[in-house]
Amino acid sequence: MNTIHNTIKTLGGRLTKTRKAIIEVLSENRCFLTKAEIIQKLRDKKIKPDRTTLYRELVYLTKNQIARKNTINGIEYFEIPQDHHHHLVCVSCNSIQSVDMSNHLEKQEKQIAKQNKFNIINHSLEFYGYCHNCQA
Ligand SMILES: [Zn+2]
Ligand SMILES: [Zn+2]
Ligand SMILES: [Zn+2]
């Protein structure tokens, strides 16, 4: 969290109460949250930003690569992952699970970067399918 605060200071950004709380909510959760879920969790912390403010904050955090945004089935999700992970997305109930993967893919990333002379800074990977409950 302090690293994030420092990053924002380096960027010349202000650490408002709302901004701090959004970072806190996303950091605590570790994986994807929708805007509605973020609002709910902020309310639990007695912070009630209007939708415009929240939207502006999320754009700021995403643009500065502090948070990650992903649109799945038309829904926007945000996360500040503490550890690198990928996702299992159920196309039936829209649930999302996070998964750790072996180093295999991360090793491949280095190879891909080298082969294509591409400086990769990050990647995201979602597997789509049916969760255990929806297979029945
Ligand atoms: Zn995640
Ligand atoms: Zn499901
Ligand atoms: Zn990965």
CATH number at residue 30: 1.10.10.10
97 and 72 both lie in a single domain: no
pLDDT (tens digit, 9 = 90+) per residue, 30-63?
Answer: 899 999 999 999 999 999 988 999 999 999 999 9
Instruction: Give residue 25 CA to ligand 3 midpoint distance, Å.
Output: 23
pLDDT bracket for residue 136 (50, 70, 90): confident
pLDDT bracket for residue 84 (50, 70, 90): confident
Query: CA separation (Å) from 58 to 15, 99, 114?
Result: 14, 24, 33
pLDDT of residue 100: 83
CA dist., res. 41 & res. 48, Å (int): 10
26 and 92 both lie in a single domain: no
75 and 97 both lie in a single domain: no
Q: Which of 1-5, 56-60, 76-80, 115-119 has the lowest mean pLDDT?
A: 1-5
The ligand with the least distance to the CA atom of 97 is 1
Q: Position 124: which residue type?
A: S
Instruction: Give residue 87 CA to ligand 3 midpoint distance, Å.
Output: 10
Q: What is the mean pLDDT of residues 104-117?
A: 91
CATH number of the domain at 106, please.
Answer: 3.30.1490.190
The ligand with the least distance to the CA atom of 94 is 2
93 and 75 both lie in a single domain: no
Give the residue from 5, 29, 26 showing the smallest Cα distance to 16.
Answer: 5
Q: What is the pTM of this model?
A: 0.85
102 and 121 both lie in a single domain: yes
pLDDT (tens digit, 9 = 90+) per residue, 4-34?
Answer: 999 999 999 999 999 999 999 999 998 999 9
The ligand with the least distance to the CA atom of 98 is 1
Instruction: Give residue 136 CA to ligand 1 midpoint distance, Å.
Output: 25
46 and 93 both lie in a single domain: no
List residues, by chain if needed, whose CB lies under 5 Å from ion ligand 3. 105
48 and 9 both lie in a single domain: yes
Q: Where among 31, 57, 79 does a domain terminate?
A: 79
List residues, by chain if needed, whose CB lies under 5 Å from ion ligand 1. 31-32, 79, 98
pLDDT of residue 103: 77
Number of domains in the chain: 2
Distance from CA of residue 92 to its chain's centroid? 22
Structural domain including 39 reads: 2-79
53 and 102 both lie in a single domain: no
